[in-house]
Amino acid sequence: MSYLTRRQVLGIALAGLSLKFARAADTDQSRMIVRSPFPTDFEMPLDGFTEAITPIDHFFVRCHTNIPKVNLKTWSLKVDGVVNRPLTLTMDELRKLPRTELVGVLECAGNNRAFYQPHVAGTQWSYGGAGNGRWAGVRLRDVLEETGVKSSAKQVLFNGADTPLGTMEHLRRGITVEKALHPDTLLAYELNGQPLPVMHGFPVRIVVPGWAGDSWIKWLQHIEVLDHEHDGFWMKSAYRYPKSTVNPGATVNPADTVPVTSLGVKSVIAKPAAGPMTANSVTIAGAAWSDGSPVTGVDVSTDGGQHWTSATLGKDLGRYSWRLWEFDWTPGPEGQYMLMSRAHTASGAVQPLEQQWNPGGYLWNVTPRVSVQVGPESYRRTCFVCHDGHMMQTQRLTRAQWEKEVGKMGNWGARVNPEDRESIIDFLSGTFK
Ligand SMILES: Nc1nc2c(c(=O)[nH]1)N[C@H]1C(S)=C(S)[C@@H](COP(=O)(O)O)O[C@H]1N2
Ligand SMILES: [Mo]
């Protein structure tokens, strides 16, 4: 009998893990925040908002139930309802229609839900329930025109291949006929130049640019044109937003709500992180998007909203895309600084300074606030010669230990001016303790 070495055991365990991931995921879980292993909800980390296009292995995932494996050989897309000529399309037939593409933000309606006060039940997304993809496929309009939509049509309902769990109703979401016939609403079969990944709806999903993710049905297999508004659970009870302002924590009568549709204007600060500044200067950076009205500017404040300065915008990838922005900042004297960003659009929409609470925790888009602490000039000019601030940030030392440490650094060659010593130790021992 032979025993496995630790290395062998580890190797087998890792092989098992990667096998499992290969089966379950197109997404590299190691880069994602797992909000729920099942049903699968993976969040993009904050640094994803510095990427112009979100790579597939960085793209958030939101599933209500299982992830179906669709077999293209047996798959087809049925289109019926109040149409003159119901249709069934294979992938080959779909691909023969004119191909079109756009870059667009997919954002979960419940993104940032974790920030609502009072708290709201549901997936506790921080910022990363959003991604910016290059979607390619055909116009939904082209398919609907082939079927001939009757004038009585009101809503277009989408049905995916995932199956309900327990006694829940099958997830079906509808969009207005107007949005369905909009030339930018797509039946997408590609993301970032690749066949749509399984997790993101292979073989076809609906892309409803400017609208929240709940309308972007994945694993599409049936499109039904209705002459009424679908009154299933997922339209009637879920994904609804109050028609008017409600008090935080209030219960809202369903009659006073409407379905979630458009996203609001929003910017996100990807860096720096909140906490002590780790360098003398920093590029404040992030992304900004809206409901499809072009983002025309992002203003940045470093003093809690008293003064605003325009950030530099990155490349314009189209009106549904997010736009990267950045702002170089060298802080003034020691102290606490509140960084904020505020996007505005061509239609005159401005990112709000206060968030409206709502019972579903949807459509969070308030100006982000990141509080950073700037050390005294003495600390910055002495310690940042050799360190970025991360080394100091990971220490938990008493004042006596910090005194010793500063002495040790002096022995290693750091130039610590005698008149700076006290203020450096004050800051270190008051901050990293
Ligand atoms: N068939 C189906 N489509 C779906 C969902 C789902 O659970 N099943 N989730 C929706 C929600 S709530 C969101 S936010 C997006 C997430 O898309 P992603 O997983 O590609 O990021 O898909 C939408 N489409
Ligand atoms: Mo969502």
Strand pairing class (77-81; 87-89): antiparallel
Q: Report pTM.
A: 0.92
For the chain, give the percent of residues with pLDDT over 70: 93
Give the ligand whose atoms come closest to the C-alpha of residue 362. 2
When computed from its CA atoms, the radius of gyration of the chain, rounded to whole angstroms, is 26
How confident is the model over 61-100, as pLDDT tens digits?
A: 999 999 999 999 999 999 999 999 999 999 999 999 999 9
Phi, psi of 92 (to 5 degrees): -60, -45
Give residue 124 CA to ligand 1 midpoint distance, Å: 16
Give residue 109 CA to ligand 2 midpoint distance, Å: 5
Confidence of residue 274 (pLDDT cuts 50, 70, 90): very high
Q: What pLDDT is attached to residue 2?
A: 39
Average pLDDT of the residues in 144-170: 96
- The answer, yes or no, to whether residue 12 has pLDDT greater than 70, is no
Give residue 107 CA to ligand 1 midpoint distance, Å: 10
User: How many C-beta atoms lie closer than 10 Å to residue 61's C-beta?
Assistant: 26
Amino acid letter, residue 169: E
Are 340 and 306 in contact by the 8 Å Cβ rule? The answer is no
Phi, psi of 211 (to 5 degrees): -105, 155
94 vs 316: CA distance, rounded Å: 30
Are 285 and 341 in contact by the 8 Å Cβ rule? The answer is no
Are 211 and 227 in contact by the 8 Å Cβ rule? The answer is no
Order of strands, sheet of 335-345, starting from the edge strand that comes earlier in the sequence = 275-276, 369-374, 335-345, 295-301, 309-310
49 vs 190: CA distance, rounded Å: 22
Give residue 61 CA to ligand 2 midpoint distance, Å: 9
Q: What pLDDT is attached to residue 27?
A: 61
How confident is the model over 225-261, as pLDDT tens digits?
A: 999 999 999 999 999 999 999 999 999 999 999 999 9
Mutate to test the pocket of ligand 1, among 216, 217, 219, 239 (most ligand atoms within 8 A of CB): 216
Give Cβ neighbours of residue 223 (< 8 Å, ≥ 6 apart).
77, 78, 79, 80, 81, 140, 143, 144, 156, 157, 158, 159
- Token pair listed for 303: 């003093």
Whose alpha carbon is nearest atom 20 of ligand 1? 200
Is the peptide bond between 203 and the residue preceding it cis, with omega within 30 degrees of 0? yes
Are 287 and 322 in contact by the 8 Å Cβ rule? The answer is yes
Q: What pLDDT is attached to residue 26?
A: 57
Give residue 147 CA to ligand 2 midpoint distance, Å: 29
Q: What pLDDT is attached to residue 64?
A: 96
Whose alpha carbon is nearest atom 13 of ligand 1? 213
82 vs 411: CA distance, rounded Å: 83
Average pLDDT of the residues in 115-135: 98
Give the ligand whose atoms come closest to the C-alpha of residue 105. 1
- The answer, yes or no, to whether residue 209 has pLDDT greater than 70, is yes
- The answer, yes or no, to whether residue 3 has pLDDT greater than 60, is no
Among 15-24, 136-145, 168-177, 199-208, the minimum mean pLDDT is found in 15-24
Mutate to test the pocket of ligand 1, among 214, 223, 263, 364 (most ligand atoms within 8 A of CB): 214
Residues constituting the chain:
433
Give Cβ neighbours of residue 78 (< 8 Å, ≥ 6 apart).
86, 87, 88, 221, 222, 223
The pLDDT mean for the chain works out to: 93
Average pLDDT of the residues in 346-367: 98
Tokens 């077999």, located at residue = 71
Give residue 232 CA to ligand 1 midpoint distance, Å: 17
Average pLDDT of the residues in 48-55: 98
Mutate to test the pocket of ligand 1, among 26, 36, 63, 186 (most ligand atoms within 8 A of CB): 63
How confident is the model over 284-324, as pLDDT tens digits?
A: 999 999 999 999 999 999 999 999 999 999 999 999 999 99
Domains of the chain: 6-36 (no CATH), 41-259 (3.90.420.10), 266-374 (2.60.40.650), 377-431 (1.10.760.10)
- Residue 200 CA: nearest ligand 1 atom is 20
For the chain, give the percent of residues with pLDDT over 90: 93
Confidence of residue 20 (pLDDT cuts 50, 70, 90): very low
Mutate to test the pocket of ligand 1, among 169, 218, 240, 263 (most ligand atoms within 8 A of CB): 218
- Residue 218 CA: nearest ligand 1 atom is 3
Confidence of residue 1 (pLDDT cuts 50, 70, 90): very low
- Residue 201 CA: nearest ligand 1 atom is 20
Give residue 110 CA to ligand 1 midpoint distance, Å: 12
DSSP state of 174: E
